Chains A and B, each alone.
Chain A
């Protein structure tokens, strides 16, 4: 299709067959069709083929350490509860009563003995099994009714070094296979200290009028925007513009997960107004080298961002983690946490908590810049002509390199669209249900 072509007589509802899906993502030419950020039908297909099938981030184990601790979140638009059971195992349960469908939990987090539906008093144990219901005697006379058949629907759960993931696809491969060599990079944050990690200080939740993929692809690879979008915030926090990092920079991607980074060691943690966290990172570098080697030690506080496909993002240097929960094609709920080493001194944990709030929270000086861009990049596509204009994702083509230490698909240069293309390659693979992870 010509870049200037407009379909004035396009059918109102084109079938979402694989040929149409493939026409949306042109990786050879680095072109993306804007309708992936706008169309309701595509969004519905994402809920089915991406969010109901992928391993999705749920919570950190540190949020629910005790029996009965729970957090409520969602997988796609499916509401779920992650609860620590009487046996100490975490289960992820659909937050919807199997009787009439009402939610059984309305709190974001807490500790409970059971989940009782407000509607008819159906009561579920911490492992999701049906304990009983109001007027239970009537159900004893109900032919074919067995309580064991009517628990809360369960997702498949797995963890990686404190991070809890779940999938609704009971046939899904293992989380280890899903993350693949991306685990080697996750260890930069999750395993730079023998004591492990924890989330601190609760979470911040906000909504932006953006398609969920715009923030996800941004974290997967968009170092490019930082020097322009965040210039004023960088001036405020650092007293200088965001400079292009000296030395080698990279995009790496595995199975659609992306991490862009410099090897500057401290560039992002330096954006906190307080220098406590910066000093902590510097003071531990020799120790981290012993655990992770020199290259990964330089990634700990570095200028960098990352996304675990589809919607779990983090800034390694700021140590802020977030999910982009889809709430329709044009709306995303953002939930943000700060991750710290359990062994870190209290003042360091507090420095990260405050640093994340100042920089990347709903009112953070950097995050405000991003939300504005993503909202307009989404909503401009209400225009009939506008959404037929292809978007350019061609930067950094052919920049793949072999690296003796870095794992996954490695390309040189962080000012690149390489990881974004990998994100959409995985998106297309899942949407068409064709091909293998790469």
Chain B
């Protein structure tokens, strides 16, 4: 389920902030997730829910599970290693052993393309 994309961020106007093209809006179906790896920061998970796309850190805040390989249940992703859960929209940890919230990232959509603005 996790498609491994290696994307090098492009320089944006602001210092230390990059804009990254992730995929086209039509590339993923609702309930799908993908992992994006970077050379200079931890990987990002991209989730498509019924009403749009959401991005979070890919690595579970508990151990080292890859959340893009997890299980989407409603608005939550369940870690594939220990069944800790996070709200995909807010990153909020839902249950043990997920106790620390997950970082979430805003996305921009332009011309059917999804971009991530991210600090590096």
Contacts and interface: CB of A to CB of B under 8 A. Distances in A.
B80 A121 contact: no
Interface in B76-110: 78, 80-83, 97
A435 B26 CA distance: 67
A137 B65 CA distance: 12
Given A116-B82, A123-B81, A133 B63 contact: yes
Given A113-B71, A121-B97, A131 B83 contact: no
A113 B82 contact: no
B64 interface: yes
A132 B83 contact: no
Contacts of A132: 63-65, 81-82
Contacts of B62: 134
A25 B21 CA distance: 77
Contacts of A131: 65, 80-81
Interface in A97-153: 113-114, 116, 121, 123, 131-137
Nearest to B62: A134
B82 A134 contact: yes
Contact of B64 (A113, A116, A121, A136): A136
Q: What is the predominant secondary structure among interface residues of chain B facing chain A?
A: loop
A133 B81 CA distance: 8
Nearest to A112: B83
Nearest to A116: B82
A136 B97 CA distance: 13
A261 B64 CA distance: 59
B77 to A, nearest CB: 12
Nearest to A135: B63
Contacts of A133: 63
Given A121-B97, A134-B97, A113 B65 contact: no
Interface in A62-106: none
A123 B83 CA distance: 10
Nearest to B69: A131
Contacts of B71: 113
Contacts of B64: 132, 136-137
A123 B62 CA distance: 13
A293 to B, nearest CB: 50
Contacts of B65: 131-132
A15 B80 CA distance: 51
A114 B80 contact: yes
Contacts of B63: 121, 132-137
A213 B71 CA distance: 46
A85 B46 CA distance: 26
Contacts of B83: 113-114, 116
A136 to B, nearest CB: 4
Contacts of B97: 121, 134
A136 B71 CA distance: 21
Contacts of A137: 63-64
B82 to A, nearest CB: 6
Nearest to B60: A132
A127 to B, nearest CB: 13
Contacts of B78: 113
A328 B120 CA distance: 62
Nearest to A130: B81
B33 to A, nearest CB: 15
A209 B80 CA distance: 42
A150 to B, nearest CB: 14
B5 to A, nearest CB: 22
Nearest to A121: B82
Nearest to B65: A132
A183 B80 CA distance: 41
A41 B97 CA distance: 45
A209 B64 CA distance: 47
Contacts of A123: 81-82
6 contacts: A114-B80, A114-B82, A116-B83, A121-B82, A132-B64, A132-B82
4 smallest CB-CB distances across A and B, nearest first, come from A132-B81, A136-B63, A131-B81, A132-B63
